[in-house]
């Protein structure tokens, strides 16, 4: 386990190993081979940030460059999944997902349900999300809650390289449509990742830190900020328990509830906008099922209800950070 690779390399390795193991796995997306001004196939880009770089030549004919038409190629991936392939489609930024909602919400998510449980749609849609990249309002949103809302989809939000690889392999092997959220700021994060093939199951939260005072539930990039905050808070004598649900659908309710039953205090950290979000969903869950255990009002640390700003200064204010988490935890811990 000593080998460390980045989040981006972990995703690349998962795809490479599953493509080698299972000939029905294909990869498709924009700029897999060439973008404007590139020499094309000779210097295949591997997607806009190069996550699939190297796969094009390693798996000939199984890495497809698509036109810039999300509705067309996501539809094609879903169709291919219905016909025996296991496509992994890359939809650059989740912000562009809107143009193929029919294919995702109304088709892929419904097939198993509408065809007597006989239809399987083993498609994975990989997509980048999140602010902090100076990419403005149309390339920085955090939209996993939209997909979590729709039954029939599975939604994965890995927070570190180990989970990214294991959850992606699990996604590829899963027989239902999976939306796989990659935080672009995490691409350079390094972590220990086994060279061997492994899976991380859906619906099982990770407990990253144990503590008796306050439960922090955090997702994606926020998990690392929560850890930073928890380390600082420990010096003040506040011991946090950090839970990373890893998948928002299915959601590991039991681990969250067990923790809050122990601590009685909850802070939910979600990079998304606050309304109808995972933060409000998890807060609602705890109020419904662990109300008696609560010793303080639940705090939510989220982005404000505005689009991600383009200004660097405002964008930094927009995204939750360790200092904001610390303040929220302190308020919750001190509440009497």
Partner 1 sequence: MSGIHTLTMPKWGLSMSEGRVNAWLKGLGDPITRGEEIVEVESEKIAGALEAPASGVLRRRLAAEEDLLPVGALLGIIADADVADTEIDAVVAEFLANYVPPSEEEEGGGSVPGKIEVGGLRIRYLKLGAGGEPLILVHGFGGDLNNWLFNHATLAVKREVYALDLPGHGESTKDVADGSLDNLTDVVIGCMDALGIPAAHLIGHSMGGAVCLNVAKRSPQRVHSLVLIASAGLGAEINGDYITGFVAATNRRALKPLLSELFSDPGQVTRQLIDDMLKYKRLDGVAESLDRLAGKLFANGSQQMILAEVPEVFGKPVLVIWGKEDRIIPARHAPKAGGKVRVEILEGQGHMVQMEAANDVNRLMESFLG
Q: Least distance (Å) from partner 1 to the CB of residue 198?
A: 5
- Gap between the terminal Cα atoms of the chain: 44
In angstroms, what is the minimal distance from the CB of 18 to partner 1? 10
Q: How far is the CB of 16 from partner 1 (least distance, A)?
A: 14
In 3D space, the residue among 262, 263, 283 whose CA is nearest the CA of residue 274 turns out to be 283
Nearer to partner 1, 234 or 330 (CB): 234
Q: Which residues pair with 300 in a beta bridge?
A: 268
Hey, is 218 helix, strand or coil?
strand
Q: Which is nearer to partner 1, 198 or 310 (CB)?
A: 198
Residues carrying an active site annotation? 139
| Rounded least distance, CB 4 to partner 1, Å | 9
In angstroms, rounded to a whole number, what is the distance separating the alpha carbons of residues 16 and 270? 31
Q: Is 174 left (phi over 0), alpha (psi -120 to 50) or beta?
A: beta
Cα separation, 89 vs 320, in Å, equals 30
- Interface positions with partner 1 (CB under 8 A): 1-2, 162, 166, 192, 194-201, 204, 206-207, 209-210, 231, 234-235
Count how many Cα atoms sit within 13 Å of the Cα of residue 210 in the half-sphere of its side chain: 2
- Cβ proximity to partner 1: between 231 and 316 the closer is 231
Dist CA 219 CA 183 (whole Å)? 10
Nearest to 140 by CA among 7, 280, 335, 272: 272
Q: Which is nearer to partner 1, 91 or 206 (CB)?
A: 206
């Amino acid at each position: 386990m000593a080998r460390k690779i980045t989040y981006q390399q972990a995703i690349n390795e998962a795809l490479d190993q599953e493509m080698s193991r299972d000939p029905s796995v294909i990869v498709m997306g924009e700029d897999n081979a060439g973008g404007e001004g590139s020499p094309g196939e000779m210097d295949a880009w591997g997607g806009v940030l190069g996550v699939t770089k190297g796969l094009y030549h390693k798996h000939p004919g199984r890495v497809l460059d698509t036109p810039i038409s999300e509705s067309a190629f996501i539809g094609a991936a879903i169709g291919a999944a219905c016909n025996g392939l296991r496509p992994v489609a890359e939809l650059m930024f989740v912000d562009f997902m809107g143009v193929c909602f029919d294919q995702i919400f109304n088709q892929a998510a419904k097939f198993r349900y509408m065809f007597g449980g006989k239809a399987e749609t083993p498609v994975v849609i990989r997509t980048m999300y999140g602010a902090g990249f100076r990419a403005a309002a149309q390339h920085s949103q955090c939209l996993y809650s939209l997909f979590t809302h729709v039954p029939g989809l599975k939604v994965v939000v890995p927070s570190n390289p180990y989970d990214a690889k294991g959850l992606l392999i699990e996604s590829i092997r899963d027989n239902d449509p999976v939306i796989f959220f990659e935080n672009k700021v995490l691409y350079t994060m390094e972590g220990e990742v086994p060279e061997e093939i492994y899976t991380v199951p859906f619906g099982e939260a990770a407990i990253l830190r144990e503590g008796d005072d306050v439960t922090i539930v955090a997702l994606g990039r926020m998990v690392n900020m929560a850890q930073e905050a928890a380390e600082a808070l420990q010096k003040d004598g506040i011991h946090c328990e950090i839970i990373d649900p890893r998948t928002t659908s299915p959601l590991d309710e039991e681990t969250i509830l067990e923790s809050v039953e122990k601590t009685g205090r909850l802070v939910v950290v979600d990079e998304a906008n606050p309304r109808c979000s995972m933060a409000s969903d998890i807060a609602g869950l705890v109020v419904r099922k662990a109300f008696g255990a609560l010793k303080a009002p639940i705090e939510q640390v989220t982005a404000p209800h505005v689009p991600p700003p383009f200004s660097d200064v405002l964008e930094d204010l927009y995204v939750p950070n360790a200092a904001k988490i610390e303040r929220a935890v302190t308020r919750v811990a001190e509440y009497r």
